[in-house]
Amino acid sequence: MSQGNSILDNVQWDADSGTITFKDVRYMLIRPDTVVDFQKAVEAEVGPEKCAEMMMAGGYTGGSRSSKRYKEVFNYTDEEIVAFMCKMGGEIGWGKFNVIKLDVPGKEFVVEVENSAFAAAYGEADWGVCHMIRGVMAGMAVGIFGGDVVSSETSCRSKGDDRCRFEIKG
Ligand SMILES: [Zn+2]
């Protein structure tokens, strides 16, 4: 059974300008191994922890901007924007996102991701490698909780875990 993809079915492609947009936000398709090759090159230069911070920062900005933008476009509540962003994660091929816990007053958010594209491209590691997901989730959580958050990838497919798990606390 095929299922509609609310993102891909509504993407606008402009052949003249070579651009793809969703709700006026520009996107591009990129192979996960391209991102991961870059990640490994940066890790080799600055070490895995610093690289994680840098990739987190990129994801954070994207997550924060996207959640703000789509909250306005669709007039979503906090719960709805989390559900939308997690569904979108799957629709753009990052993996299958499952919201495990969302406690807005308690400022706690837990999401698990099956088949992370980042972990699949990376292969085995001694640490979590899905920093962009971690950052996107943190950026979204900041918009909802207000103030700073701590975002950790407590399980990762690359470490041999069944799935990746992200725990965000305000
Ligand atoms: Zn992971």
Q: How many CB atoms lie within 10 A of CB 41?
A: 11
**CA 137 / ligand 1 centre spacing (Å):** 13
In this structure, are residues 11 and 21 in contact, taking their beta carbons and an 8 Å threshold?
A: yes
Q: Are 118 and 133 in contact (CB under 8 A)?
A: yes
pLDDT digits (tens, 9 = 90+) for 87-139: 999 999 999 999 999 999 999 999 999 999 999 999 999 999 999 999 999 99
Cβ 88 vs Cβ 165: under 8 Å: no
**From the CA of 26, how far away is ligand 1's center (Å)?**
26
Type of residue numbered 151: S
Ligand 1 centroid–CA 72 distance in Å is 30
**How remote is the CA of residue 164 from the centroid of ligand 1, in Å?**
4
Q: How far is the CA of 153 from the centre of ligand 1 (A)?
A: 7
pTM: 0.94
Q: What is the mean pLDDT of residues 17-39?
A: 96
How far apart are the CA of 156 and the centre of ligand 1, in A? 4
pLDDT at 76: 95
What tokens does 43 get?
């890790």
Is pLDDT above 80 for 1?
A: no
Report how far residue 95's alpha carbon sits from residue 97's, in angstroms, rounded to the nearest whole number. Answer: 6
Check residue 104 and report its DSSP letter.
T
Under the banding of pLDDT at 50, 70 and 90, the label for residue 2 is low
Q: How far is the CA of 155 from the centre of ligand 1 (A)?
A: 7
Ligand 1 centroid to Cα of residue 148, in Å, is: 22
Residue 18: count other Cβ atoms within 10 Å of its Cβ.
8
The whole-angstrom distance between residue 73's C-alpha and the CA centroid of its chain comes to 19
Q: How far is the CA of 113 from the centre of ligand 1 (A)?
A: 8
